[in-house]
Every structure is written in structure tokens, then in C-alpha cells.
A and B are shown apart, each in its own frame.
Chain A
Amino acid sequence: MSDCFINGIASISAQPTTDPNTFLDEIIHYQESIFKAHDPNYKEYIKPAAMRRMSKSVKMGVTASSIALNNSGVEIPDAIITGTGMGCKQDSEKFLENILHNDEQFLTPTLFIQSTHNTVGGQIALGLGCKAYNVTYVQGSASFESSVMDAKLMLSEEPEKNILVGGIDEVAKNSTMLHKLDGQIKADPIDVINLLKSNTPGTVTSEGSTFMVLGANKVERSIAKIVDIETISRGGIEDVSIAITSLIARHNMKIDDLDAVVLGNNGDINFDLYYKNLQNSVFSETEQLCYKHLTGDYPVASGFGFWLGCKIFETNNAPDILKVNDITAKKYENILLYNQYLGKNHSIVLLQRC
């Protein structure tokens, strides 16, 4: 069984997270329940002619993947694996609305071509001229983790590979609004920084992209080792607790060996119970960190947790804005990530410092 190391990582989110020299030093406060990504200067990464045709997802994905590849020193990866919960929603929505409003007439192919879930993976391959393995996972809040699991499996089969893995999700005007109608997003405007104390149903949403370059060998640039990763489609509060404990035990570790846990609390009073239970039991003596009051929640938001873990290892510091209890770890060697959405698509990830 080969190891799996993160040899480069980049994240675009609602916060300024692409400058390698800062770590959440400056925080943007949002006052609405749907907000956009903080855009890096895409022109630095994409030629203007190509950019004109790109949707937001493609721009974010191409840019984040380009930074991650650059960080890792890998030029052309040996596989491209992407995850997205909702795909290229903006183009899908426009194509759908054109169909419905114009009674299936006067349609053009561009929106349809760019609407498929694998558009970003395909565009990255095209841009790099990369003919290798290329797959897209679409499994709600476990989309990013599904991609990482495939990459980890591939490294066990072919350890010489460098694998580009990433997640992308974008906000689309009307389809995102629909999530207000069905209660996934909070109805009223909210000071997002206070999200975790909202005590109301629903969450807030945004968009972003995290990409990593994974390899089986530890190299100088290696930031973290992905020791283990698991997804659970459906499970109760107790099932999650058991799954976490047994994952830790599989690696001959105890909960005490975890220096920090990064949790996906999203301020939804009905489903934060999954986290609260762990916070008050197994993790009561562990430093607890949350981030969705900065980034919002969207299917691949959990990719941001990987980025956080790597940043914490790199800087040996967890910014105060992330802390939700009074415990501060003495060192950061092992970090556990746990995330779920509406009680489904749970993911558990164990990261270890390199």
C-alpha cells in the first residue's frame, strides 16, 4: 500500500486565499446568504482569448489547478480527477431557461457544451494537452473526497504517478436561489461571520475551488500525508462517532493523538447536531476549528478543509478566527477533517504533517 502525499495545493474561496504569504490575515465580512468567490487575478493564469469563453467554474478550476501544479513542480499530471456537487450550474441554468422560455427554439450549442459536469476536467486536460486518466465525481458534499479516494487508489496501483485532484462549485443566479425555497439556504440576510451561532435552519452558500497535486513519494515540497479517507453515504450521529473512532484506531492512534479537528459546521440548527455531538464527546479535549462562517457551504467546500490543514502544518498556527473552543494545540502533527451535508455524504479524513 503506497502513501499519498499532498505536494501542492491551492484554494480559491470567498476569502483572499491565493496569496501564499498570507493565512486568513484579512477577512471579508459578508452580509447576505449567497455570496461569490473572492476572485484572484485570473489574467495571470489564463490567456484573454481563452478566458472570454470560460464560465466561472472553468476559470476557478483552471486557475486553482495551475497554482497547485506550480507549487508542486509538476508540469503535466498523470491523471486529472475532479469533483463537483452541481457542476457548471451557470451554463446549465441558462440553457435550461432558454429551453423553457423559448419553447425549445433559438438555442445555441455553446451553453450545452459547457454544461456537463466534466467540463472543468476536460478544459484542464485540453489546456495542458494531458491525455491521461480523466474522471469527474458528482456526489454532493462528498464529491471532493470521492476524487481524492480515486487518486489514493491510483497511487496504490501506480506509485510513480503525480495526480491532479480538485473540486469546483459555482453560484448560479436562479438555481442557487431555489435552495432558499427548499430551506437549504437561510431565508433572511445574515452577518455571515456569526453563522455558527445562528440557531436557525439552513446555511449560507458561496463558491470556490481547491486543487491538489498528490504523489506516493514524500518529496521536499510535500506538505501533508493523507493517511486515510472515508465517505459514508448515510449515517446517524452515533454511526459517525463510531466511524471516526475506528478510522483512528486502524492507524494505531487514539483521539488524544489528534492535535486539531476541522469541522464542517454550517450554522444549520437541524444538522449541526452531527458536529455538536462530536464536539461535546470524543473531541471535547481537542482543538476544534470551523471555516464555513468564512467560506459559506457548497458541495466542495470541504476541499477548503484540506487547504486549511496544509496551511496549519506550514505555518504551525491556526488563526483565531477558526477556533470554536478554548483548547489550543501545542503542536500540529495530526489533523482530522469531518464534514457532512443534511446528514448525508459524510467524509472523514486524517492528515499528517510531513
Chain B
Amino acid sequence: MNKGIAITGMGIISSIGNTVEENLTALKTVSPGISRIQMLKTRHSEEIMVGEIKKTNNDLEKELGLDPLHSFSRTALIGTIAAKEALENANITDVNKYRTGFVSGTSVGGMDTTEKYYLDYTETEEHRRYIQAQHAGYTTQSISDYLGINGYVSTISTACSSAANAIMLGARMIQAGKIDRMIVGGTDALSKFTINGFGTLMILSDSECTPFDDDRKGLNLGEAAAFLVLESDAVVEKENKKVVGRVAGWANANDAYHQTASSSDGEGAYLAMKKALKVAGMTPVNIDYVNAHGTATPNNDLSEGVAMTRIFGEEDTPLFSSTKAFTGHTLAAAGSVEAVYSLLSLRENLIFPNLNFKTKMKEFSLVPQTELVSKEMKTILSNSFGFGGNCSTLIFTK
């Protein structure tokens, strides 16, 4: 088996909590964060349910102590909060003591500020500092500059699998000895752009989402940021670091079926899981639990479910659940949000429930884990899929 890359810290902000421990409490007490939208003005506020962080941009910038003339979009603000917690959690005070890189996944970057100011840029000079801030790379650099990371900094944008790909890249770079330490994850704020985009695709649910349910109506969008600190074994040993868990398997495959829809045989998802197991040097029986992508769209849950039956066998699929009914689908951040949850599952030996499930899907016999349950686990597989056919799988170990 692949020993994997050590994870020494994590940070998260989502609609169920502003820190790792707050998120854990919400998961343990089964307190989902799905509500009507309050922070963002949209004409759809009465039609959709979302996973929204109930803090204004003003609250967030105060917490970070930013200059009032900053050019942080909301995506950058929540990203900085989560990345800062990850560094603190990993007990890193001098970020440049080792070769340290930063990779963030985001789908729309600073679109939240662009859509606020786009029409008045010609009139209002003071807002023009946000023109550059629309770009995904700028969002990432707002965070890396705040943390003082100046070397390798990059952004991955593969829609809803972005953060999973960022974690994979970090693990690969450390494994190859290219770098000693990587802060990896993703961030996405709610925006009118994505709300209306997913709206036109008719995949937004008007009530709480119901992953893997036969009557599922679509997803709840969410906003979140989550980051992990990955460190080489040499650094772990030298600094006598506490290891939270390890990322031992990773893979990315393309469904090559449709720009936005997943194939009905789940080929991309199947290939991603298969290859991740290979990288980890494991077989399907090694997997104790699957944190599924499970967005609750008719298309995703069918495709992912079929792919799981192909990997594990319909009768032998391990316990699985989607945590999207807690947080909403946090798009580019989903892979790192669920990485944090997977690591918490390993630490606490708890499986967090798939909420709102009532009816088994017609197409297969898979039933998600619907109650909070305690189980001794060594290995968790986590899926993230996105537009463009992007399918990514990560495997975490104790």
C-alpha cells in the first residue's frame, strides 16, 4: 500500500460552522445549514434553498483585519479564513521555513464582486480595484499574499472537482520531492452567476436536497472554503508533527460524454475510483466508507451510484453517504470540504449521515447511510465530479 502523504492541518468555513470543530459539532448533532438566502440579493431568494455562511463581507474582513481598501472578493475572504485556520491547526508559524506552495480550486473566482460592480465600473473609480479581482488566479493570490506564500502558487478550475484536483496535485508534488509543504483546497462563494447558471440547467431544488433518493429534485448550492496542509515525511519527522491522516490515493479521469451531464454508466467516475485504488495500492475491500459526491441531481446520483456498483459490486458497496444536505453543493470547494469531513470521520470513527433520504432509487439496491453511526475505519474514499466531464477520487487513511 501507498503510505501516502501526511496531512498535518485543516481549516474550513461553511454554512454549518466557521471552524473545523464547529463543523464537527454540526455534523455530530445533525444540524444542517440549509436555509433561504440572506446575504446575497437575488430575485430567486424565495425559490431556492442554499448553504450560506451567515456572515457579511464586512464581518469577514474585520476578522482578517484587512485594510478597508482591500480587493478581496467573498471567495477570497472565506478562502483566507479557512487557509489561515489550516496553518494554525498545523502549528505553522513561519510559513517559509520550508519550500511551501499554495494551490486553490475555485470555479468562478471573484464573480461575486464582479456582478456587484460590473455595471458601474465606468462611473465609480473606487470599485475598479475589483476588475482584476474577478480572475480566479487573483483570488488565490489574495489568499497566498495574506499568508505570505510567494513561491509556487496556482489555481485549478475544473468546476466541482477543483479542490480534489488541488489536493491531488499537492500530494503528487510532495511525493516527487518538488516541494516540502503544500496548502491545498478550494473556495467558492455564492453568486448570482452560479445560482442562475444552475437555475437554467433546472437542477436546483426548491427544498432541502435529498441525495440518492428516488424522488430527488436537484441540488442546493452552498458556499464554503476548506484547506489541508500536506507535509513531507521529512518535515513531519523533523518538526515532530502530529499527523491528522494521510492522502494515499488519487486519480482524475474524464467522462468524455457531455459538457455538463454525466454518462449513465458512470464511466468517468468508475475510472477515477479504479485508478485511485491503484495509486493507493488497495482493492475495493479496503474501503470502509465512501463520502460520495451525491449532489442530489437526478443525473449525478444515478451515474455515481452505477459507478460504485461497478467498482464494489452492488451487494458489496461499503457504507456511503453524501454530506451535501448539510452544506449544499459548495462547487469548487466540495472536494476539500469533504476531505475535511472524511478526516473527521477517520479521527472520530463516525459516519456522518445522508440526510433527507426516504425512497431507494429504482435503478439499483444502494441505500445510503442515513443515521449518524460509529464505526472503526481505516480508509475512506471521497468522490468529486464536475462539468467538463471531470471526475476525481481521493483516498484518505488514518
User: Which A residues are within 8 Å of any B CB, using their own CB?
Assistant: 80, 85-87, 92, 95-97, 99-100, 103-105, 107-109, 112-119, 121-123, 125-126, 128-140, 142-143, 146, 150, 153-154, 156-157, 175, 178-179, 181-182, 184, 231-235, 299, 344-345
User: Of B118-126, B221-229, B230-238, B371-379, which binds chain A?
Assistant: B118-126
- 0/1 string, B229-265, CB within 8 A of A gives 1: 0000000000000000000000111111111100000
- Which single member of A135, A181, A235 contacts B128 (CB below 8 Å)? A181
User: Of B58-66, B131-139, B295-303, which binds chain A?
Assistant: B131-139
B42 and A104 form a contact (CB under 8 A): yes
For residue B199, which residues in chain A have a CB less than 8 angstroms away from its CB?
Answer: 107
A125 and B256 form a contact (CB under 8 A): yes
B389 and A138 form a contact (CB under 8 A): no
For residue A299, which residues in chain B have a CB less than 8 angstroms away from its CB?
Answer: 137
Give A142 Cβ to nearest chain B Cβ, in Å: 7
- Which single member of A97, A119, A131, A175 contacts B259 (CB below 8 Å)? A119
For residue A108, which residues in chain B have a CB less than 8 angstroms away from its CB?
Answer: 200
B259 and A113 form a contact (CB under 8 A): yes
For residue B42, which residues in chain A have a CB less than 8 angstroms away from its CB?
Answer: 104
Which 9 interchain pairs have the tightest Cβ spacing? A122-B388, A233-B153, A112-B197, A117-B157, A109-B200, A140-B137, A118-B388, A138-B136, A134-B254
Give B274 Cβ to nearest chain A Cβ, in Å: 11
Assuming A131-B254, A231-B154, is B141 touching A118 (CB within 8 A)? no
Assuming A114-B259, A153-B176, A345-B137, is B153 touching A178 (CB within 8 A)? no
Which residues of B102-160 have CB atoms within 8 Å of chain A's CB atoms?
102, 106-107, 109, 111, 114-115, 118-119, 121-122, 128-129, 131-132, 134-138, 140-141, 144-145, 149-159
A179 to B172, CA, bound (A): 36
Assuming A136-B157, A153-B176, is B151 touching A232 (CB within 8 A)? yes
- Which single member of A104, A113, A232 contacts B260 (CB below 8 Å)? A113
Who on chain A is nearest to B260 by CB? A113
A112 and B201 form a contact (CB under 8 A): yes
A164 to B138, CA, bound (A): 26
Besides the known contacts A113-B259, A116-B107, A233-B149, 20 further A-B residue pairs in the complex with CB atoms under 8 A apart? A85-B135, A86-B135, A92-B193, A96-B111, A99-B193, A112-B196, A118-B158, A122-B254, A122-B259, A122-B389, A125-B389, A130-B256, A131-B253, A131-B267, A134-B390, A137-B157, A157-B176, A231-B153, A232-B152, A233-B145
Which residues of B77-124 have CB atoms within 8 Å of chain A's CB atoms?
102, 106-107, 109, 111, 114-115, 118-119, 121-122
For residue B134, which residues in chain A have a CB less than 8 angstroms away from its CB?
Answer: 175
A116 and B157 form a contact (CB under 8 A): yes
A153 and B156 form a contact (CB under 8 A): no
- Which single member of B106, B115, B254 contacts A130 (CB below 8 Å)? B254
B259 and A135 form a contact (CB under 8 A): no
A97 to B260, CA, bound (A): 22
A99 to B138, CA, bound (A): 23
The reply to whether the CB of B367 lies closer than 8 angstroms to some CB of chain A is no
Assuming A133-B252, A344-B141, is B158 touching A232 (CB within 8 A)? no
B157 and A118 form a contact (CB under 8 A): yes
